[in-house]
Structure 1
Amino acid sequence: MDIDALRQSHKDQWERLGKLASKRILSAKETDELISLYGQVGQQLSAVRSQAPDPDAIVELSRLLSRARGRIGYHQNARATNVRRFVTVTMPMGLYKARWFSVGVMVASLAVSLICALYLLNNMAVFDLLVPPATRRSIAQSQFVGYYSQYAHSEFASQVWTNNARVAAISIISGLTGFFPILVQWQNALNVGLMGAVMSEQGELGKFFAYISPHGLLELSCVFMSGGVGLRLFWTMLVPGRRTRGQALAQEGRVLVSAVISLTAALAVAGALEGFVTPSDLPLWIKITLGASAAVGLWAYTFILGRRAALQGDDGDLDPSQIGAYAAQA
């Protein structure tokens, strides 16, 4: 093996590997390139050692590979750290920032549901117009319970999750309108109140809570939070604080994405509960315990981890070095 020829033919590769190993911030594409070049140069070093053990070339390539190896290890650790921070800081912070909006939405929605149910139960003419007596009997006797077992458990859970996640995402993203999140919450509250009134009037209020509690506690929490996050985005647009409106919306928009991911994950759990637990033959207390635990877990995740991040001065946004990193380097 001609060492000079090897050095000349692979000069660009070695220089590129050295440049990537020295770069402070790497994109995903550059990281893949670094790993690929590391493997290629490693093979070249093995060939030199076995076919033409030139001391200078071996030292040169060994040092280059050592730098690249350290950079790869650092980047992998950084990725793990970023994932951990995203799950324990960014995601809960996205929900925590909108906590009082979410609580407000929850209180208002439950009040609307209760008022709707009481109004219908005390105004039978209106109730009969909206839901005829025969339909109410059918709902209470078969449709309400049958809804949870009309499809295979996995298919039903998937359908519920997809639909709820889509509605939650739209409610959050359309928060800039200020109107759509309120409309979604209003319709949901009326539907809950209407169904509660139907089951109560038919003497099946216990069945209503027995079937809605296992999944509904978590599902409704997600619905309330999606409305809260959407309304907070609208509030940020109206009152950006010391930031420019563009800066405020950009920052909150980045954090908003984490809220969408958090609620999508929580709704997957709610879908699993609705598809597998609600229609199951498990004792009622186990069903409700599972549902309540999931809902409490979501609120605890929001308030405990979110508050901890806030006390540490973390706003849940991307690390400053990651925002416009390439523009800064240019």
Structure 2
Amino acid sequence: MDIDVFAATHAQEWKRLDELVRRRRSLAGEEVDELVDLYQRVSTHLSVVRSAGQDPNLVARLSALVARARSAVTGAHSSSWSEVSGFFTRTFPGTLYRLRWWWIGASAGTLLVAFLAGAWVVLDPEVLNAMQTPEAMRQYVEHDFANYYAENPGTSFSAQVWTNNAWVAAQAIVFGVFLALPTIAVLAMNGAGIGSSAGMMIVHGRGEEFFSLILPHGFLELTAVFVAGGVGLKLGWTIIEPGDRPRLRALGEEARAAMAVALGLVVVLFVSGLVEGLVTGNMVRGRIATPVGLGIGFFVEVLFLAYVYTVGKRAYRKGETGDIRNTPEAVPVAG
């Protein structure tokens, strides 16, 4: 089917339905009948376009139009709070659970890179010497590393960390459309950066300090980055191997799910930013004991994983994929 010809043929019907939906509160009796008729026809058009799988943008446009028309026809709508609740009890956790093996794999790969980078720094003095001058390295180990968490007020530092981490996570997801190669690079660079910093601190006898300060917020923060990386990898793999779906349709479905994950991770990274600014920072200032800080970090990580493997598992088993909800299923059509 030529999707451009199909769109041109039915453009006036879509425009008319949009007009009737906008004027739904002042429609005459015959216009209400026309609204119902057009709603049914455009729902079928959407099924045709979805089945063709050639134009994700047109699918999204018609999905929104059909959803608005359905609301106008039935008079039913969901409250904003209901939508938010549904997102965090179905869409976000269900998508995380569905894609769990992708972000578990991203976690394992990134941590392996971090371990290898750290071991290289620890075992090869030439690598260590090439990283920084002895004076700069001493300044970093003895002052800059810990001071990074305490030099700014906790709330402003949390906001800075949140913004930075959200940007890294967004990159890891969006770069997936480039066959996931930039996503792999983002994960590898993050792993190498963590590993080399750990190696530098260990060589100078500050390994315990490094892990005690990095882990409270790092548990959840790194998990969020791994999730973003895993979603980006899945997006890239969908382009290579779409399965039994048309490639563009598969990419559209996975891209919409990826955007749902990106939105949910904003909240996850907000929590990890609070832990980094208010817990890690106060550990450096001596206001929170190391065991307490580690316990808080471990607790929020366990809560997140429990959320994925209970709420997410339940939503996934009920059919949640992260794609647009309440869209008509594809139906057989002639031609």
Shorter-chain TM-score above 0.5:
yes
State the shift of 1:107 in Å: 1.1
CA 1:290/1:323 → structure 2, altered by over 3 Å: closer, same or farther? farther
Q: Is 1:251 aligned with 2:265?
A: no
State the shift of 1:117 in Å: 1.1
Q: Is 1:292 aligned with 2:325?
A: no
CA 1:14/1:147 → structure 2, altered by over 3 Å: closer, same or farther? closer
Match of 2:157 in 1: 156
What amino acid is aligned across from residue 85 of structure 2 in structure 1?
R
Match of 1:4 in 2: none
Q: Distance in 2 between matches of 1:205 and 1:15?
A: 71
Match of 1:39 in 2: none
Which of 158, 180, 183 in structure 2 is aligned with 1:181?
Answer: 183
Q: Is 1:27 aligned with 2:68?
A: yes
Which of 256, 260, 263 in structure 2 is aligned with 1:261?
Answer: 263
Q: Is 1:114 aligned with 2:115?
A: yes
User: Which sits farther off after the overlay, 91-100 or 185-194?
Assistant: 91-100
Q: Is 1:283 aligned with 2:314?
A: no
Q: Distance in 2 between matches of 1:89 and 1:76?
A: 15
For structure 1, list consecutive stretches of 5 or more residues without a partner in the other structure: 1-11, 35-67, 325-330
Q: Distance in 2 between matches of 1:156 and 1:173?
A: 26
Q: Calculate the aligned-residue CA RMSD, in Å.
A: 2.8
CA 1:322/1:267 → structure 2, altered by over 3 Å: closer, same or farther? farther
Q: Distance in 1 between matches of 2:206 and 2:230?
A: 32
Q: Distance in 2 between matches of 1:320 and 1:261?
A: 20
SS in 1 for 2:243: coil
State the shift of 1:242 in Å: 1.2
Q: Distance in 2 between matches of 1:145 and 1:308?
A: 41
Q: Distance in 1 between matches of 2:294 and 2:24?
A: 62
State the shift of 1:245 in Å: 0.6
What do the CA deviations read for 1:11-63 (whole angstroms, capped 9, x no partner)? Answer: x997539878x9787739x98xx9xxxxxxxxxxxxxxxxxxxxxxxxxxxxx
For these two proteins, the number of residue pairs brought into alignment is 273
SS in 2 for 1:241: coil
State the shift of 1:149 in Å: 1.5
Match of 1:86 in 2: 87
State the shift of 1:255 in Å: 1.0
CA 1:119/1:161 → structure 2, altered by over 3 Å: closer, same or farther? same
What pairs up with 1:66-81 in 2 under 5 angstroms? 71=75, 74-76=76-78, 80-81=81-82
Which of 237, 248, 272 in structure 1 is aligned with 2:274?
Answer: 272
SS in 1 for 2:323: coil
Instruction: Say if 1:136 and 1:202, in contact at 8 Å, map to a contact too.
Output: no
Kindly name which structure, 1 or 2, has the bigger radius of gyration based on alpha carbons: 1
Match of 2:327 in 1: 321
State the shift of 1:270 in Å: 0.8
State the shift of 1:297 in Å: 2.0
State the shift of 1:192 in Å: 0.5
CA 1:321/1:109 → structure 2, altered by over 3 Å: closer, same or farther? closer
CA 1:270/1:16 → structure 2, altered by over 3 Å: closer, same or farther? same
SS in 1 for 2:92: helix
Instruction: Say if 1:218 and 1:295, in contact at 8 Å, map to a contact too.
Output: yes
SS in 2 for 1:27: helix
What do the CA deviations read for 1:213-244 (whole angstroms, capped 9, x no partner)? Answer: 11111111111111100000011111111110
Q: Is 1:208 aligned with 2:210?
A: yes
Normalised TM-score (structure 2): 0.74
CA 1:307/1:16 → structure 2, altered by over 3 Å: closer, same or farther? same
For structure 2, list consecutive stretches of 5 or more residues without a partner in the other structure: 1-22, 40-65, 331-335
What amino acid is aligned across from residue 177 of structure 2 in structure 1?
L
SS in 1 for 2:205: coil
